[in-house]
């Protein structure tokens, strides 16, 4: 009988997707459950078949008012802890250096609790791990956890198989936080250039961006669910976008990705696709600042000019796609 492993990854889509190779390998050795945001249920069938998702939206993972305990769902949290204890997990593992993960691990009562201690949180763990070098990609944390559990995960360059494909260039102009959004008019510039070179450009945006795009005379799609987004990606030959969850999802599906990075370093959080490329913005004394940009606009990201991005994207597209049409 397989041991029961609980994996904790409480944060956004990008974090979940980066854990994919670990989850797939772990499912071969353990009976795996994933404690994650409810969105994980929509990803499960496609990315981690056979893994159970325990959905919960933890209050401290919100972007705003996360540390207001009066707004926390205490009854639901207590019910979750009781449920975790009843399941009698043998092992709990976290790939983050987050004391809240480790406290949850302790509350689960699992005899083995594996993670990266921080701020004294090693008290809640039975096996404290040394983190990879600070400049390492986020995926390297999962490789360290894997080794502790007797699994050897592939290097990042081989974590996702290359999938030969053709199709459209999907451009996603959104991101969860404004600090990661490149100006919309520059995405429009890229779309027009791609079309003139004979590529089919499909535009996807966040709901708050839709009016801008339609005012520009563009047909744009705003998927309401991850399932709808996956349907669009099934026809993609390339993905272009900001440093955000959709780019990570495209990468783990084997789609070549071109990402515009601003307030964090690509070397730490680029999509897992072996065909991923990117362009990085200007240096800044606050970098990486994640989602708390101290300026009125993300100067590091906006320093990437449209012509600079186009030259890189043009070469990237030529490497991976044959134009579907010839411009007049």
Q: What backbone torsions phi and psi does residue 232 show, to the nearest 5 degrees? A: -65, -45
- For 276-311, the DSSP string reads -EEEE----TT-S-TT--SSSS-HHHHTS-HHHHHH
**Ranges of residues in the chain whose predicted pLDDT is under 70:** 62-68, 291, 325-328
As beta bridge partners, residue 92 has 6, 113
β-pairing, 257-261 vs 277-280, is parallel
Pair 250, 239: CB distance under 8 Å: yes
d(CA 54, CA 288): 31
How far apart, in Å, are the Cα atoms of 102 and each of 1, 52, 108, 203, 209? Answer: 26, 20, 10, 40, 38
Residue with tokens 């272009």, as numbered in its chain: 240
Closest CA to 193 of 86, 314, 101, 286: 314
d(CA 218, CA 230): 21
Pair 101, 93: CB distance under 8 Å: no
Q: Which pLDDT score is estimated for 328?
A: 39
Domains and CATH numbers, the chain: 4-158 (3.40.50.2000), 168-320 (3.40.50.2000)
How far apart, in Å, are the Cα atoms of 136 and each of 24, 75, 268, 317? Answer: 21, 38, 6, 27
Helix (H, G, I), strand (E, B) or coil at 132: coil
d(CA 130, CA 127): 10
d(CA 173, CA 144): 34
Q: Which pLDDT score is estimated for 63?
A: 57
Residue 142, CA atoms < 13 Å, CB-side half-sphere: 24
Q: Which pLDDT score is estimated for 325?
A: 57
Please state whether the peptide bond connecting residue 23 to the residue before it is cis, i.e. omega within 30 degrees of 0: no
Q: Which pLDDT score is estimated for 32?
A: 98
Global pTM reads 0.92
Element (H, E) at 169: strand 168-172
d(CA 328, CA 325): 9
Please, what is the Cα angle at 222 between 220 and 228, to 5 degrees? 120
As beta bridge partners, residue 6 has 33, 92
Residue with tokens 């999802």, as numbered in its chain: 249
Query: How buried is residue 55: exposed, middle or buried, by Cβ count under 10 Å (0-12/13-18/19+)?
Result: middle
For the chain, the distance separating the N- and C-terminal CA atoms, rounded to the nearest angstrom, is 64
Helix (H, G, I), strand (E, B) or coil at 255: coil
């Amino acid at each position: 009988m397989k041991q029961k492993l609980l994996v904790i990854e409480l944060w956004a889509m990008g974090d979940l997707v980066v854990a994919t190779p670990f989850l797939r390998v772990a499912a071969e050795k353990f009976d795996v459950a994933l404690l994650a945001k409810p969105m994980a249920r929509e990803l499960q069938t496609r990315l981690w078949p056979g893994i159970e998702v325990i959905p919960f939206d933890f209050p401290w993972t919100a972007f705003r008012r996360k540390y207001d305990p009066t707004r926390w769902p205490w009854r639901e949290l207590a019910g979750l802890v009781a449920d975790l204890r009843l399941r009698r997990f043998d092992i709990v593992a976290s790939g983050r250096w987050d004391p809240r993960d480790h406290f949850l691990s302790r509350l689960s009562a699992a005899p083995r609790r594996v993670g990266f201690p921080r701020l004294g949180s090693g008290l809640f763990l039975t096996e404290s791990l040394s983190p990879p070098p600070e400049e390492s990609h986020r995926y390297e944390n999962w490789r360290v956890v894997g080794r502790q559990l007797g699994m050897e995960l592939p290097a990042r360059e081989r974590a996702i198989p290359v999938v030969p494909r053709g199709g459209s260039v999907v451009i996603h102009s959104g991101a969860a936080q404004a600090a990661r959004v490149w100006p919309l008019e520059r995405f429009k510039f890229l779309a027009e250039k791609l079309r003139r070179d004979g590529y089919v450009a499909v535009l996807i945006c966040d709901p708050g961006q839709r009016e801008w795009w339609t005012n520009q005379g563009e047909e744009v799609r705003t998927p309401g669910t991850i399932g709808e987004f996956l349907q669009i990606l099934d026809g993609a030959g390339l993905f272009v976008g900001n440093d955000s969850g959709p780019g990570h999802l495209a990468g783990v599906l084997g789609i070549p990705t071109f990402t515009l990075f601003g307030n964090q370093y690509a070397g730490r959080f680029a999509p897992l696709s072996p065909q991923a490329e990117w362009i990085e913005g200007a240096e800044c004394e606050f970098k990486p600042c994640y989602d708390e940009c101290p300026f009125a606009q993300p100067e590091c990201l906006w320093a990437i000019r449209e012509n600079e991005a186009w030259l890189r994207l043009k070469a990237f597209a030529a490497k991976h796609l044959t134009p579907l049409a010839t411009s007049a």
